[in-house]
């Protein structure tokens, strides 16, 4: 039997089990890898929002990471919510110590319901210490705008948020990609779920077209996908970044890895689009039959 890929998720625990380490482990398992997890914080939340966030001590975060690296051959690390400055410092120390081959950062700054999940000090640690170790950073559109403001480029952020066309967004992305290249940032995969409606509507038939953008080496690669109208989208960012981590370990090119991950997320949203799970924004469903068959059942039935 061949050795299974092991993907380490360093993130928060979502008590509704729609996002965070639970979604990451689900994703890794469905895609044929073994998921292990380090908790940085525990949330009291449901599908309607977060009630409270409890950060874990720096020592416990560090010891969780060390214990897993001592036992497993970690193929990739996905970093999600760090929440506290002390947890971020512990993660940096361990990444510098163990030097995993791939690090994918999902820089979660706030929840969809508006709860702050990263203070400015934590964001500065991400930018100064974690970015240099990353294979890829996967912010959503709003997180990209917040990062630009931290970098003193509020004009870019304002223009993006007030954009009235897709072409305008793509032109601005090119400027941002050039900026990040000059700053020696890693590649960015900007998720398009929060784009202005004017940027995702096609003028011919008013159809909404979702698109993500890979910012790499001063260029922009747009990856389109049909937009699914659903209330169940909780966990998309976590699932995407973990799926990319798995695909990178399979020696996919960066573009192929993000494309395959994008398709997996699309199928996970499609599977969950009409489910009733909670009273708010329900979770997506990573247990897509085609992937279960490919990675778990093929040759066994």
Which CATH number covers residue 192? 3.40.1190.20
Number of domains in the chain: 1
- Give pLDDT, residue 3: 80
Q: Is residue 298 part of a domain?
A: no
Quick check: is 297 in a domain?
no
- Within a domain: 255: yes
How far are the Cα atoms of 6, 70, 77, 78, 200 from residue 101, in angstroms, in the given order? 12, 16, 8, 11, 35
CB 235 within 8 A of CB 264: no
204 has a pLDDT exceeding 50: no
The pLDDT of residue 112 is 67
Q: Within a domain: residue 195?
A: yes
Tell me the two tokens of residue 267.
Answer: 């199928």
Mean per-residue pLDDT, 80-99: 94
Asked if 246 and 76 count as a contact pair (C-beta separation under 8 A), the reply is yes
Residue 31 located in a structural domain? yes
pLDDT given for residue 28 in this prediction: 98
For the segment 255-269, the average pLDDT, to the nearest whole number, is 96
Specify if 292 maps to a domain: no
Q: Which residue has the tokens 């996919």?
A: 252
- The answer as to whether 247 is a domain residue is yes
- Per-residue CA distances from 152 to 4, 63, 149, 161, 292 (Å): 43, 36, 5, 16, 45
- Asked whether the predicted pLDDT for residue 248 surpasses 70, the reply is yes
Range of the domain at 95: 6-286
pLDDT tens digits, 13-58: 999 999 999 999 999 999 999 999 999 999 999 999 999 999 999 9
What does the angle CA 173 – CA 178 – CA 182 come to, to the nearest 5 degrees?
A: 145
**CA-to-CA separations, 2 to 36, 294, 301, in angstroms, rounded:** 18, 16, 20
Averaged pLDDT of the chain: 90
- Tell me if 78 is assigned to some domain: yes
């Amino acid at each position: 039997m061949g050795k299974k890929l092991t993907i380490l998720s360093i993130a928060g625990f979502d008590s509704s089990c729609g996002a965070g380490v639970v979604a990451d482990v689900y994703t890794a398992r469905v895609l044929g890898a073994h998921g292990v997890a380090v908790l940085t914080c525990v949330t009291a939340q449901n599908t309607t929002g977060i009630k409270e966030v409890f950060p874990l001590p720096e020592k416990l975060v560090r010891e969780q990471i060390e214990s897993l690296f001592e036992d497993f051959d970690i193929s990739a690390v996905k970093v999600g919510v760090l929440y506290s400055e002390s947890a971020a410092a512990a993660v940096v120390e361990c990444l510098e110590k163990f030097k995993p081959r791939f690090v994918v950062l999902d820089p979660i700054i706030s929840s969809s319901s508006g709860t702050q999940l990263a203070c400015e000090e934590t964001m500065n640690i991400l930018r100064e210490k974690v970015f240099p170790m990353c294979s890829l950073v996967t912010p959503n559109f709003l997180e990209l705008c917040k990062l630009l403001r931290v970098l003193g480029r509020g004009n870019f952020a304002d223009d993006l948020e007030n954009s009235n066309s897709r072409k305008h967004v793509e032109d601005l992305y090119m400027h941002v990609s050039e900026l990040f290249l000059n700053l020696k940032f890693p590649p960015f995969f900007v998720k398009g779920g929060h784009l202005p409606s004017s940027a995702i509507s096609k003028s011919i038939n008013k159809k909404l077209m979702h698109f993500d953008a890979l910012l790499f080496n001063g260029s922009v690669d747009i990856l389109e996908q049909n937009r699914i109208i659903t209330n169940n989208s909780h966990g998309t960012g976590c699932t995407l970044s973990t799926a990319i981590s798995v695909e990178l370990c399979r020696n996919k090119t960066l573009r192929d890895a993000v494309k395959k991950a994008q398709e997996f997320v699309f199928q996970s949203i499609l599977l969950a689009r009409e489910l009733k799970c909670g009273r708010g924004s329900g979770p997506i469903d990573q247990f897509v039959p085609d992937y279960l068959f490919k990675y778990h059942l093929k040759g066994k039935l």
